[in-house]
Amino acid sequence: MERPARPRRRLRRRRGATAGNKEKENQIPAAALANCAPPLRLAVERLSGAHGGAKPRWMNLDSQVNSLEAVAILHAACKAQATPSLVTLSLRYCALPAAGANGQDGADGQDGGGGSDDALDALVELIKTNVNLETLYLQGTVHEAWKDALTEVWHARGALHSIRNNGQTFFRKVDLAYLRDRASYVPAKFIRPKKSKKAPKKGKKKK
- Check pLDDT > 60 for residue 146: yes
**Is 134 within a domain?**
yes
- Check pLDDT > 90 for residue 197: no
**Is 202 within a domain?**
no
Q: How much of the chain is helix, strand and coil, in % rounded to 5?
A: 35, 10, 55
Nearest CA to 142 out of 126, 171, 108, 165 is that of: 165
The whole domain housing 124 covers 24-188
Please state the domain count of the chain. Answer: 1
pLDDT at 103: 42
Bridge-based pairing state of the strands 159-164 and 98-99: unpaired
**Is 161 within a domain?**
yes
**Is 16 within a domain?**
no
**Is 160 within a domain?**
yes
Q: Express each pLDDT in 54-79 by its tens digit.
A: 899 999 999 999 999 999 999 999 99
143-167: average pLDDT: 94
**Is 44 within a domain?**
yes
Q: Where residue 9 falls among pLDDT bands split at 50, 70, 90?
A: low
Cβ within 8 Å of residue 139, ≥6 positions away: 92, 93, 165, 168, 169
| 48 vs 205, higher pLDDT | 48
**Is 133 within a domain?**
yes
